[in-house]
Structure 1
């Protein structure tokens, strides 16, 4: 059995982590096994499932990148044999592939899940990014990206990038819409004519939840009958709760926390909103299209996410809320796409998890 060590920081329910779990569940465990390195001591959402599947979790709590690299290298040497080290932490991958190199690991995989980074705004940040890209290029043996834009962002010096799309269990999502169409309306005890909008993702600055709250206040002022369900948790949750109170829209915004029933939540959603400042290739946008849920998203997100099902519409963050309102109302008038069509198109485009697992196994060799 070949053990692969994934450097992830922590395995909470977020985009890259969910993608990784989708792969892990379908992996041939007689041939491959995943282990994980965290840079946090607290328990994560997927811990119990990882251990149930046979994976190990190692924790390194030191925040200094040099000390962390040394400790990681020592851990890799101590816990041998690892067939590969697979790093998922953007520019920090430079430290992790260096640690694997010093530990004499022959396969060192760097994986890009994003198309932008907040550090790009400072001169020091840009210097750090450029240095990291060169280290990643020199010391990684394999390069994987969730899409072309993510590959170009992290691997400008490499032309041999493997694209591993953020695949899902397409059948699970595509066949769920009819059975659970009123899932959220039943949970919130809503009338049939209430519009259910969801935002799914970690409550962190990049996801721009504050935009969503302000948009909700605008829709309430305009007299729309709706609820926005915010699914996820994170460091900005208390700030958002205060903003909801300040705007006096508690009846319109529901905080659901971290949920494991995303297929049912999407089935009960009329429109998904994603006003992110930047994203790589969000897994939840693959899931929403598989579920037949139309989405209104920021045009800062790569157009690659549109599967051609006419289920994704873009708007600019600096557009007036009236533009977002018009687009939202137009989306609600769209004809639903059949589950057969969704399944066929997503599978043909490579978003079926079974195909991705085979591709990853071939990369590992």
Structure 2
């Protein structure tokens, strides 16, 4: 539960827009969380509890802690699991506690970043699925991957489109605070610093772009286990002075206003929130052709291959730079809303699913 995390954003978007007279969220996460998320969840009447990351060494202790959690919090109408590799803990215990609605929600189309983790996840995900009685996916690709022949409901990762509507004043304010001039070209990337997000490729591509456009900068929002490795790699490429590492960002909506071009070369994604948000802000977005096409909801986004090296990305990036002067970003929010990605519409669908548990 940290800013910039895809699943965290999904949960918080639904939390903020659901009918608070009828629904309360108690959130459980693994690992660190942002205190402002905790405070916001509590303002809506819920709780945020954090356990350590699940591993083979602590799985039995984790199951004990989750059982104790249910003992303290009492009966739930719904347990909604967004982590497929944790379903064998949460949904199994939920079934034992007679929770009426047990949801498994698919957010990606791969088991893990590495084959070692995938080998671990395959059996525990298969085991955990049997305890769900409702299947949701953020896209067809994510649903087909996890549920295969089982029927599931697609619930698109939606956003409050109005928050991301392009605003020239916010753009000028953010760029001034970050020390960028009017003629600086700001490339950007948002996501955990991990293998899935393919940020070594990102840095290689930016090195080529910077060589052709010396006024270009790369701003990276997010944190993760590859932070120091990626910083060393940027130094080895000679671009360290032109790469800004923001870490986790609270005001991500302002970041979209200030950037010029999003570079998003992920190895895989279910339905990336970042891409939907960027299009709502009218940001020219260059994305890998391995993600689900359901996220390509406007002509602001273009897919590129990641198996042909960085040259296609450099060429497309330079072309995007030349088109910035004539680019009109003001239509992004409406186009994303018209494509069915506004949270005010999809939250009603989620409420309908939740109401199954109380027969209402």
Q: Does the CA-based 8 Å contact 1:184-1:196 persist in structure 2? A: no
Cα deviation for residue 262 of structure 1 reads 1.4
Cα deviation for residue 338 of structure 1 reads 5.5
**TM-score (norm. length: structure 1):** 0.88
CA distance in structure 2 between the aligned counterparts of 1:75 and 1:289, rounded to whole angstroms: 40
Residue deviations 1:52-111, cap 9 Å, x none? 332212333464334423432342244212111110112332332112111221110111
Let me know the Cα RMSD of the aligned residues: 2.4
User: Do residues 291 (structure 1) and 284 (structure 2) align?
Assistant: no
Partner residue in 2 for 1:303: 293
Q: Does the CA-based 8 Å contact 1:227-1:252 persist in structure 2? A: yes
Kindly tell me: are residues 344 and 272 of structure 1, through their superposed partners in 2, closer, same or farther at Cα, counting changes over 3 Å?
same
Partner residue in 2 for 1:217: 207
Partner residue in 2 for 1:6: none
Q: Does the CA-based 8 Å contact 1:85-1:100 persist in structure 2? A: yes
Partner residue in 2 for 1:85: 79
Partner residue in 2 for 1:280: 270
Kindly tell me: are residues 197 and 58 of structure 1, through their superposed partners in 2, closer, same or farther at Cα, counting changes over 3 Å?
same
Partner residue in 2 for 1:144: 136
Cα deviation for residue 32 of structure 1 reads 0.6
User: Do residues 60 (structure 1) and 51 (structure 2) align?
Assistant: yes
Q: Give runs of aligned pairs for residues 1-365 of structure 1, distance below 5 A.
A: 10-40=1-31, 46-61=37-52, 63=55, 64-118=58-112, 121=115, 125-126=118-119, 128-129=121-122, 132-133=125-126, 135-136=128-129, 138-159=130-151, 161-174=152-165, 176-307=166-297, 309-332=298-321, 333=323, 335-337=326-328, 339=330, 341-365=331-355
CA distance in structure 2 between the aligned counterparts of 1:135 and 1:320, rounded to whole angstroms: 38
Partner residue in 1 for 2:358: none
Secondary structure at the counterpart of residue 170 of structure 2: coil
CA distance in structure 2 between the aligned counterparts of 1:259 and 1:52, rounded to whole angstroms: 21
Between stretches 110-119 and 181-190, larger displacement belongs to 181-190
Q: Does the CA-based 8 Å contact 1:277-1:300 persist in structure 2? A: yes
Kindly tell me: are residues 338 and 186 of structure 1, through their superposed partners in 2, closer, same or farther at Cα, counting changes over 3 Å?
closer
Partner residue in 2 for 1:3: none
Cα deviation for residue 35 of structure 1 reads 0.4
Q: Relative contact order (C-alpha < 8 Å, sep 6+): which is higher?
A: 2
**TM-score (norm. length: structure 2):** 0.89
Residue deviations 1:207-239, cap 9 Å, x none? 111112222222233354200001112221122
Kindly tell me: are residues 128 and 282 of structure 1, through their superposed partners in 2, closer, same or farther at Cα, counting changes over 3 Å?
closer
Secondary structure at the counterpart of residue 169 of structure 2: coil
Residue deviations 1:220-262, cap 9 Å, x none? 3335420000111222112222222222323311111211111
Secondary structure at the counterpart of residue 196 of structure 2: helix
Secondary structure at the counterpart of residue 281 of structure 1: coil
Between stretches 162-171 and 185-194, larger displacement belongs to 185-194
Runs of 4+ with deviation above 4 angstroms: 41-45
Kindly tell me: are residues 225 and 129 of structure 1, through their superposed partners in 2, closer, same or farther at Cα, counting changes over 3 Å?
same
Cα deviation for residue 131 of structure 1 reads 5.8
Secondary structure at the counterpart of residue 297 of structure 1: strand
Partner residue in 2 for 1:5: none
Secondary structure at the counterpart of residue 323 of structure 1: helix
Kindly tell me: are residues 183 and 250 of structure 1, through their superposed partners in 2, closer, same or farther at Cα, counting changes over 3 Å?
farther
Q: Does the CA-based 8 Å contact 2:84-2:128 persist in structure 1? A: no
Task: Give ranges in structure 2 of 5+ residues lacking alignment.
Answer: 356-360
